[in-house]
Structure 1
Amino acid sequence: MILKKKSIIRKKIFGFLEKPRVSIFRSNKHIYAQVIDDYKGNTLISASSKKLLKFYKNRREKKITKKELSYKIGNLLGNIIKSYGITQILFDRNGYIYHGRVKALAKGLRNVGLQF
């Protein structure tokens, strides 16, 4: 079901350098986000909760929920995108429902000032 949705969505969304596509992959434990230039077929930036979780485990802070972690990934990715001078992106939720962790990641991107 998701593969069919993905193929339909991918035909409609095409990112380029001025307005790249932010693609999301959500597993049971982690969430991954990539900034992709479809014109060249390159991944410009990537971020994942797996990498960020190592930082929190080393600091021995309180447990962080998946939704909070997704928001922080969105914030982190948004700040990196803004440092490249990009203000607009295409948000590719990859067939996932806009709810929960996907929504939190999008909220993190929007709070930085990105438009989509």
Structure 2
Amino acid sequence: MALSKSERKQRIHRRIRKVSSGTAERPRLSVFRSNSAIYAQVINDVEGVTLASVSSRDKNLAEVKGSKSEIATAVGKAIAEKCKEAGIEKVAFDRGGNLYHGRVKALADGAREAGLNF
């Protein structure tokens, strides 16, 4: 029997998480995409601590107008700025089981534009 879309995504996410984990030197940039919003967290998996987080629902990003991809780019730039404030320059990108396409790619490109390396 074929997998549902959510089961397939969960399987891909588990496979990705087997090989990627965040450390103090190179934390993990985790992306969660819902139908209406996009969220990004920078996580140190060794200590189990979220170092920074941004979402398209934040008050300072709520006034950003445009397509969902443009909003995702703004979220990527915002997470990169928060990382720079915290002294983080390199991260491991975790796309969360989503394809590297559309809003996930826009977030990654926005973070790279703002100076984050991954």
1:77 aligned onto 2:79? yes
Seen in structure 2, the aligned counterparts of structure 1 residues 54 and 15 have a Cα distance that, compared at 3 Å, is closer
Query: Aligned Cα RMSD in Å?
Result: 1.5
Match of 1:48 among 52, 55, 73: 55
More helix as a share of residues: 1
TM-score (norm. length: structure 2): 0.88
Correspondence for 1:113: 115
Is 1:27 the counterpart of 2:29? The answer is no
Asked if residue 86 in structure 1 is aligned to residue 88 in structure 2, the reply is yes
Q: CA–CA distance in 2 between the matches of 1:42 and 1:31?
A: 20
How far does the alpha carbon of each residue in 1:26-53 deviate from its partner, in whole angstroms, 9 at most, with x for none?
A: 0000001111000011111111001157
Letter matched to residue 9 of structure 1? I
Unaligned runs of 5+ in 2: 1-7
Residue 96 of structure 2 aligns to a residue whose secondary structure is: coil
Distance 1:29 1:55, change over 3 A: closer
Give the CA deviation at 1:88. Answer: 0.6
Report if aligned partners of 2:61, 2:74 keep a CA contact under 8 Å in 1.
Answer: no
Distance 1:54 1:87 in 2: 22
Q: Whole-Å Cα distance in 2 between the matches of residues 18 and 52 of structure 1?
A: 30
Aligned residue for 1:2, secondary structure, equals helix
**Percent identity at matched positions?**
45
Following TM superposition, the consecutive aligned residue runs of length 4 or more in structure 1 with deviations greater than 3 angstroms are 52-55
